[in-house]
Amino acid sequence: MKLKIFLPSRILLETEVATVTATGLNGSFGLRPHHIDFVSVLEPGLLAYRSTEGGEEHFIAIDSGVLVKQGDQVRVSVRNAVSDASLEELSAVVEDRFRELDEHERKVQTAVARLEANFMRSFMDL
């Protein structure tokens, strides 16, 4: 199978794989070359794949996204992913990076709430 992982700004990974394991909304699942076509919403966590050359297992920490398996193609589209670390380092890297994103998201939500409140006040004044 050919695995492609897409980020909003670039293709993170494009490689031949024997298996793919990920976590969807209904739990973990695995894909092999003759698996039926499949679509799943992915939860943040680890995506594992076994390369066809040497059978070595690799891990990528991913944010939420979508996985589509069609024929021998497995395409994964996620907002964020970390692949340049060992399995031991991934946990710390993911926690730090996703914590930063959560903080940014909270700031955005606070700003939107303020805008809505100001709009409602202005509307009430009319």
Residue pair 27/12 in contact by the 8 Å Cβ criterion = no
Each residue's pLDDT, cut to its tens digit, for the chain (126 residues) gives 999 999 999 999 999 999 999 999 889 999 999 999 999 999 888 899 998 888 888 999 888 899 999 999 999 999 888 887 677 777 776 677 667 777 777 788 888 888 888 888 887 887
Q: Which domain holds residue 31?
A: 2-125
Residue pair 81/8 in contact by the 8 Å Cβ criterion = no
Taking the C-alpha atoms of residue 23 and residue 46, their distance in angstroms, rounded to an integer, is 7
Residue pair 33/72 in contact by the 8 Å Cβ criterion = yes
Q: How many structural domains are present in the chain?
A: 1
Residue pair 98/80 in contact by the 8 Å Cβ criterion = yes
> In which residue are the tokens 């976590």 written?
23
CATH code, 66: 2.60.15.10
Q: pTM (2 decimals)? A: 0.72
Alpha carbon dihedral 14, 18, 24, 27, in 10-degree steps, equals -160
